[in-house]
Amino acid sequence: MAMALCGVLAAPAAGQAAEKTVEFKVDGQKVVGTLALPDGVATPPVVLLLHGFTGSRDELEIPAAKEGIFRRAARMWAAQGIASLRIDFRGNGDSEGAFADMTLDGQVKDALAALDLLAADGEVDRDRIALVGWSMGGAVGAIVAGRTSHKLTSVSLWAPGTNMPAAIALLLGPDVVRRGLAGGGQPVTAKLPWGAEIALKGSFFESLYTIDPVAEIARYKGPLLVAVGTKDDVVFPQPASGQVLLDYHDGPEELWVRPMDHAFNAFEGTATVDELIAKTGSFIAAGLK
């Protein structure tokens, strides 16, 4: 696996982070990420951030703050002395590959490779790596937690997908799923609830049935935080959908429930997002002790 650091994008102020663009290869394709290093901390602990379906590494922009949720989290955690790596899965953001070729299996490979990169990078502590995933990235995070050879100090899953076939059928419509499964290598198009159009091949829809995040999390024994919202209309019902991960997980765990939607009320302001980021930061810090 090749890695390239492509320069400092922003010089750190006190308590902030210097950010570097990181590149590595998975199956010959470039994966791009942003490594945020807290100012004045030698070999800090680090958290890997995994974005959701159709997202990218900075994640959804909070309208009131003009800042992506993952970028905001990276900045706030840097103030705690915690580094972070947020990546674009292949076919998303700045990473190589076509979105139509994206699969759940492929995203798991990207995340596992990112953990390998962090374990080999001398700028962060290879023995203090945590993971955070949102939505489909939460499903990927549950799978990765069960499969990685690296010991994770904690795993935090935000509104994680637990039944991916049902979630995608709800999001795109059952007819799209049926056409996708029957389409083979030909992409099928679908319209997202917010109007954007995407194309996906049969391999994506098939991958939803070949990996079960709930079964995979049973192999992870470390601290697990699952954060869900009772107003979530993408992954629901809640909190039952989040609780099922805890039911199959054996280890320290917490279910954090708030009256929030799938985007943590980001379109209403920053209050709930900041509460979630702070809660997760505290959970990560506790796992480091």
pLDDT at 98: 97
Q: Within 13 Å and on the Cβ side, how many CA atoms surround 32?
A: 13
CA nearest 159: which of 90, 71, 255?
255
Domain ranges (residues) in the chain: 3-166+202-287
3-state secondary structure 130-181: EEEEECHHHHHHHHHHHHCCCCEEEEEEECCCCCHHHHHHHHHCHHHHHHHH
- CB 169, CB 136: distance < 8 Å: no
CA dist., res. 137 & res. 125, Å (int)? 23
Buried b (16+ CB within 10 A) or exposed e, 73-104: bbbbbbebebbbbbbbbbbbbebbbebbbbbb
Query: For each successive 10 residues of the chain (289 residues), what is the average pLDDT?
Result: 39 62 97 96 97 97 97 97 98 98 98 97 95 98 98 98 94 95 90 91 96 97 98 95 98 98 97 98 96
* Residue partners of 237: CB distance under 8 A and separation at least 6: none
CA nearest 167: which of 259, 54, 68?
54
Q: If you classify domain 3-166+202-287 with CATH, what class do you get?
A: alpha beta
Phi, psi (5° rounding) for residue 261?
A: -90, -170
* Residue partners of 174: CB distance under 8 A and separation at least 6: none
Residue 149, burial from CB neighbour count under 10 angstroms (0-12, 13-18, 19+): exposed
CA nearest 224: which of 113, 124, 130, 87?
130
Phi, psi (5° rounding) for residue 238?
A: -120, 145
* Residue partners of 98: CB distance under 8 A and separation at least 6: 91
CA nearest 86: which of 40, 46, 123, 119?
46
The separation between CA 218 and the C-alpha centre of its own chain, rounded to angstroms, equals 19
Amino acid code (one letter) for 280: T
> Could you tell me the two tokens for 237?
């019902």
Count CB atoms within 10 A of the CB of residue 183.
16
pLDDT at 4: 40
- CB 261, CB 233: distance < 8 Å: yes
